[in-house]
Each structure stands twice: as structure tokens, then as C-alpha cells.
């Protein structure tokens, strides 16, 4: 077997694997998208490409008299954006501290964050519920935001620290020689160089609460405070009598802000890949 034939076989196998992966990922998305345009109410009669597509499901979601979907959407946006901002700030500070400073308990702190990553959220649901009830944060967006922000810190701190470790410490030393303090070094030198990893943390911190159902279902009780996940569940299971195509329409709209955020941060992802070859 010649090298050329071997190369063709490898490329063919690689493209075949990629094609299978794309089909596995794209097929459910197309099916949900097609279901949202089907005129019926049941998913059993839905098709990927409906013969008589309709927008009535989308219109019903924005009918304020019959649905609170717009309110739930705004609630999710508010919670996700606030979570993203505070998570990025918290992770930036913790990642910088673990990367640049040596203090008592540093290794134990990193080990604790590593262990916390291994514990699934549902394992702490009872503790979260009791703590929220005792602190008066049950059925509040503030309590939900605090949980989301705290949940983002362990994993993203490791990501942040790993990236900051690649930034030469000589930059800090040069800045100190010029009279810069710790905060100035952090804001004016380290953070501008950390835009790629900050974009990743921001994206993760936005997606997690935006698509969450379990924690929001445990914490929220009032319909006007529901997020999209909880609201769509209640809408489908109770109010409209199992209108799953309406649920599909609501699910499609969830992807819009996530896509916009990803496209907005895409340039930072690309710059992160190119910057890795110039740091030394």
C-alpha cells in the first residue's frame, strides 16, 4: 500500500466519522425545528420537513393574554446575564490569585475545587433548598443567581488558572518595577491578555442558567418568576394540555441568544488560538 493510498483511506475514515457525528448532532435539532412548524399538537405526527408549515405555535407563545412566555424569556435573560457578569468577575479574581500568589491553603483550595467539580448538582438539591428556605431566598431570582454563580466558580477557576499560568510572570515583574500595583497589573495587563478565556467563561456562565431546569424548578414557586425551562414545562404539562409542538417552538427560541453570544465572542476564541503561538 502506497503512502498516497494510505492517506486517502485515513482521510475517508476521518470524514466518515465526522459525517456520522454531524448527523447525530444535527438530526435532533432539525427534527425539533421541523416540529415547531407542524400544524398539529403531537410530536408523533410531526415530521422534519412539514408539508403545511405554520407559525401559529410561535404566535401563541407571544400571546400575552394566554402565555407568560415573554416574561419567562426576560427572566432567563436577566438571570443568565447577571450570573455571567458576576461569574466572570469571581473567576477572574480567584484564577488570578491561584496563578500568581503563593499562600497557605492554596493547594488544598485547588483540590477542593477539583472535588466540587465531581459532585453533581442534584446531589445537593436538598441542602440548597433548606439553605434557601432558611435564608429567605426561596422563590427569588437573587437566590438562584447566587447558586449559579457559586456553581460556576470551581471548574472555571481551574480553566482560568491554567490560562493565566501561560502568561509570563516577567510582565508582572516589569510592571512592578515601573511602579504598578497589584490591581493595576490585574486590570491593565493580565485581563486584556485573558480575553479568550474570559470569553469562554462568559459563554459557559450564560449557557448553564439559561437552559437549566432542575435548580430553577426547585427554587422558584411563583409563575411570574419562572425561567423558560420551568415555564415551558408548566405551559406544556398543565395550561395547554400537552401541546408539545408549542414546546418545540419555545425550545427553538432558546438557541437565539446563545448563538448571538457565541458569534459575538468568536473573535476572542480565534485570537486565543493565535495568541498561544506568540506567548513566551
Grid look-up 457565541 returns: 262
Cβ atoms of 164 and 99 closer than 8 Å: yes
pLDDT-derived band at 43 (thresholds 50, 70, 90) equals: low
Grid look-up 447566587 returns: 146
CATH numeric code, 67-275:
1.10.3720.10
Q: DSSP letter for 76, please.
A: H
4-13, 42-51, 183-192: the lowest-pLDDT one: 42-51
Average pLDDT, integer, range 27-36: 82
What pLDDT score does 278 carry?
40
What pLDDT score does 140 carry?
93
User: Rounded to an integer, what distance in angstroms lies between the CA atom of residue 259 and that of residue 203?
Assistant: 10
Burial of 125 (0-12, 13-18, 19+ CB in 10 A): middle
User: Rounded to an integer, what distance in angstroms lies between the CA atom of residue 4 and that of residue 237?
Assistant: 58
What is the average pLDDT score of the chain? 83
Q: DSSP letter for 221, please.
A: -
Average pLDDT, integer, range 103-123: 82
Q: DSSP letter for 225, please.
A: G
Alpha carbon separation from 230 to 61, 223, 233 (Å, rounded): 14, 9, 5
What pLDDT score does 274 carry?
47
Q: Collapse the DSSP code of 20 into the 3-class scheme (helix H, G, I; strand E, B; otherwise coil) and give the result.
A: helix
Grid look-up 506568540 returns: 278
pLDDT tens digit string along 62-102?
887 777 888 999 999 999 999 999 999 999 999 999 988 88
**Percent of the chain scoring above 90 in pLDDT:** 22
Average pLDDT, integer, range 161-171: 87
Which contacts qualify for 93-99: CB closer than 8 Å, 24 or more apart? 94/153, 94/157, 94/160, 95/156, 95/157, 95/159, 95/160, 95/161, 95/163, 95/164, 96/160, 96/164, 96/186, 96/190, 98/157, 98/161, 99/160, 99/161, 99/164, 99/165
Secondary structure (DSSP) of 105-130: THHHHHHHHHHHHTS-GGGGHHHHHH
- Domain ranges (residues) in the chain: 3-57, 67-275
User: Rounded to an integer, what distance in angstroms lies between the CA atom of residue 128 and that of residue 220?
Assistant: 12
Show the DSSP H helices in 136-194 as ranges.
141-164, 170-177, 182-185, 191-193
Query: What is the pTM for the complete model shown?
Result: 0.82
37-41, 174-178, 264-268: the lowest-pLDDT one: 37-41
109-113, 148-152, 154-158, 231-235: the lowest-pLDDT one: 231-235
Cβ atoms of 161 and 99 closer than 8 Å: yes
User: Rounded to an integer, what distance in angstroms lies between the CA atom of residue 167 and that of residue 170?
Assistant: 9
pLDDT tens digit string along 240-280?
456 677 788 888 888 888 888 888 888 777 655 444 334 43
Amino acid at each position: 500500500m502506497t503512502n498516497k493510498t494510505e492517506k486517502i483511506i485515513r482521510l475517508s475514515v476521518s470524514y466518515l466519522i465526522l459525517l456520522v457525528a454531524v448527523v447525530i448532532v444535527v438530526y435532533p435539532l432539525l427534527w425539533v425545528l421541523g416540529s415547531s412548524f407542524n400544524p398539529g399538537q403531537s410530536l408523533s405526527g410531526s415530521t422534519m420537513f412539514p408539508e403545511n408549515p405554520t407559525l401559529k405555535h410561535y404566535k401563541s407563545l407571544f400571546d400575552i393574554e394566554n402565555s407568560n412566555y415573554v416574561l419567562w424569556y426576560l427572566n432567563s435573560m436577566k438571570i443568565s446575564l447577571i450570573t455571567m457578569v458576576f461569574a466572570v468577575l469571581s473567576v477572574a479574581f480567584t484564577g488570578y490569585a491561584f496563578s500568581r500568589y503563593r499562600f497557605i491553603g492554596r493547594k488544598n483550595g485547588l483540590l477542593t475545587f477539583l472535588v466540587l467539580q465531581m459532585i453533581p448538582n442534584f446531589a445537593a438539591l436538598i441542602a440548597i433548598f433548606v439553605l434557601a428556605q432558611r435564608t429567605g431566598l426561596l422563590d427569588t431570582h437573587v437566590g438562584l443567581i447566587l447558586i449559579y454563580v457559586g456553581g460556576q466558580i470551581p471548574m472555571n477557576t481551574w480553566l482560568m488558572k491554567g490560562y493565566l499560568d501561560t502568561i509570563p510572570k516577567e510582565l508582572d515583574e516589569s510592571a512592578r518595577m515601573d511602579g504598578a500595583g497589584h490591581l493595576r497589573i490585574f486590570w491593565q495587563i493580565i485581563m486584556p491578555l485573558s480575553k479568550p478565556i474570559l470569553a469562554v467563561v462568559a459563554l459557559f456562565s450564560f449557557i448553564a442558567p439559561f437552559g437549566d431546569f432542575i435548580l430553577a424548578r426547585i427554587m422558584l414557586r411563583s409563575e411570574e418568576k419562572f425561567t423558560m425551562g420551568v415555564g415551558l414545562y408548566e405551559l406544556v404539562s398543565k395550561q395547554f394540555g400537552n401541546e408539545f409542538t408549542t414546546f418545540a417552538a419555545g425550545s427553538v427560541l432558546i438557541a437565539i441568544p446563545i448563538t448571538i453570544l457565541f458569534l459575538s465572542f468568536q473573535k476572542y476564541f480565534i485570537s486565543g488560538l493565535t495568541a498561544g503561538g506568540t506567548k513566551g
